[in-house]
């Protein structure tokens, strides 16, 4: 290196290894993205990169034979991995800034007051060369990041996520068709969405027709399926390690698939809540009222409270018994005698309850729409699934 004696490199080398560890620790604690994860793998990668870079820098100062390809490869890998994971370069840029400050401080400390035979002018040349070296290495990272990002964008799993996002937001037909074409998915005109939870690691075992698009979501999968292939897909899902019911939306045009996904997700929540009774296959078209009423949890809570407000008149102690009687009467179309046999009370008690309910609910019981809401609200309050 012009203007820097070789012995300076030899004098600085013993401190370089310790400085690499210190720099790596600073990067791991001061760069937010790295500090949050505290990844041991990330720390090892940073230490290796800093050590290799500093060794090459000192080799050049000493005039030793060098193999820059190893260092270039290390930093190219850093950039490629970040791009390939869909991450930006902000954390690495921050890491380089920390390294630049640390190198400047370290060289200043080592060369202070002429120690190790280094003048101020030589020190300044070292700092300038180190900063330029870092700039070149950052250029290597950026170029590799572009390659990694390109690969990420073309990766099937990335394309599936982008297609899913486009479908969920009701993207333009041209956008959906372009992404589907990259995935080799023949775009159907009308689809259903099948949702199911699976045992861990079994999503890859599902054998679906080529017209089906499989998207992993949490512990399960969403299958967007041509209507004509619906039954075949349901049979394929049955043969997999399914946990819980298979939820099937109503048929929708492809541009409305986001709505169908919302239906199956809501149905899944309502199954857990006990509003929809579990079965091997849940057909959303059979639960339109439940899906509509419970579209907004707070609104449904308020609606349930409003519809069942007349039960407040019977008191907290009698309320569960009266609610159960009303549900059997309305949903089961039972007579007082049938109700008495069902829940083990006398005919007289059953007749009294029915008469009392008729009094407090009044005309609501003669309105089919109000009765439908009542049945849903009672099932919700009593924890019964829809039957």
Q: What is the pLDDT of residue 227?
A: 92
Q: Where are the domains of the chain?
A: 6-152, 188-293, 303-382
**Strands, E assignment, the chain:** 190-198, 213-217, 220-226, 242-248, 252-253, 281-283
pTM score above 0.85: no
Q: Which two structure tokens, joined as six digits, stand for 148?
A: 């990694």
d(CA 373, CA 364) in angstroms, rounded, equals 10
Give CA–CA dist 149/200, Å, rounded.
Answer: 29
- DSSP lists the bridge partners of residue 194 as 223, 248
Q: What is the reported pLDDT for 209?
A: 75
Q: What is the pLDDT of residue 204?
A: 58
Please give the Cα distance from 341 to 349 (Å, whole number).
11
Taking the C-alpha atoms of residue 208 and residue 210, their distance in angstroms, rounded to an integer, is 6
- Tell me the CA end-to-end span of the chain in Å, nearest whole number: 83
> One digit per residue, pLDDT tens: the chain, 387 residues?
677 888 888 888 888 878 888 888 899 899 988 888 777 888 888 888 988 999 999 999 998 999 899 999 999 999 988 888 788 999 999 999 999 998 888 877 766 645 555 677 888 888 899 999 999 999 999 999 999 888 877 777 778 777 877 877 777 777 788 888 888 877 788 999 999 887 766 555 567 777 788 877 776 888 898 999 899 889 888 887 778 899 999 999 888 888 899 899 989 988 887 778 889 999 999 888 778 777 776 767 787 888 899 999 999 999 999 999 999 999 888 899 999 999 999 999 999 999 999 999 999 998 887 888 888 888 878 866 544
Euclidean distance between CA atoms 95 and 100, whole angstroms = 9
CATH 3.30.70 is right for the domain spanning 188-293: yes
Query: How many whole angstroms separate alpha carbon 237 and alpha carbon 264?
Result: 15
Closest Cα to residue 58, out of 1, 97, 105, 3?
A: 1
């Amino acid at each position: 290196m012009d203007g820097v004696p070789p012995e300076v490199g030899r004098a600085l080398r013993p401190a370089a290894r310790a400085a690499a560890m210190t720099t790596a620790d600073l990067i791991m604690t001061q760069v937010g993205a790295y500090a949050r994860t505290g990844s041991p793998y990330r720390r090892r990668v940073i230490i290796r990169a800093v050590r290799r870079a500093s060794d090459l820098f000192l080799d050049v100062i000493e005039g030793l034979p060098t193999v820059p390809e190893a260092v270039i490869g290390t930093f190219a890998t850093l950039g490629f991995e970040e791009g390939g994971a869909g991450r930006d370069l902000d954390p690495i840029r921050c890491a380089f800034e920390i390294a630049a400050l640390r190198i400047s401080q370290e060289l200043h400390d080592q060369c202070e007051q002429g120690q190790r035979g280094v003048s101020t002018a030589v020190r300044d040349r070292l700092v300038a060369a180190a900063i330029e070296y870092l700039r070149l290495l950052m250029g290597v990272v950026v170029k590799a990041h572009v390659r990694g990002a390109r690969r990420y964008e073309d990766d099937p799993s990335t394309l599936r996520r982008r297609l899913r996002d486009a479908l969920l937001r009701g993207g333009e037909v041209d956008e959906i068709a372009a992404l589907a074409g990259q995935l080799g998915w023949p775009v159907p005109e009308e689809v259903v969405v099948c949702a199911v939870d699976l045992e861990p690691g079994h999503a890859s075992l599902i054998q679906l027709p080529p017209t089906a698009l499989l998207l992993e979501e949490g512990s399960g999968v969403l299958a967007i399926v041509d209507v004509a292939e619906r039954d075949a897909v349901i049979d394929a899902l049955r043969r997999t390690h399914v946990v819980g019911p298979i939820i099937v939306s109503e048929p929708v045009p492809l541009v409305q698939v986001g709505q169908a996904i919302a239906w199956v997700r809501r149905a899944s929540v309502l199954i857990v809540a006990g509003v929809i009774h579990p079965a091997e296959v849940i057909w959303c078209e059979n639960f339109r009222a439940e899906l509509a009423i419970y579209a907004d949890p707070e609104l449904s809570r308020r609606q349930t409270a409003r519809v069942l407000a007349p039960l407040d008149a019977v008191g907290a102690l009698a309320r569960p018994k009266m609610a159960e009687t009303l549900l059997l009467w309305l949903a089961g179309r039972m007579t007082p005698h049938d109700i008495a046999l069902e829940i083990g009370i006398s005919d007289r008690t059953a007749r009294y309850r029915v008469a009392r309910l008729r009094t407090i609910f009044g005309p609501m019981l003669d309105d089919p729409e109000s009765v439908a809401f009542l049945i849903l609200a009672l099932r919700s309050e009593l924890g019964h699934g829809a039957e």
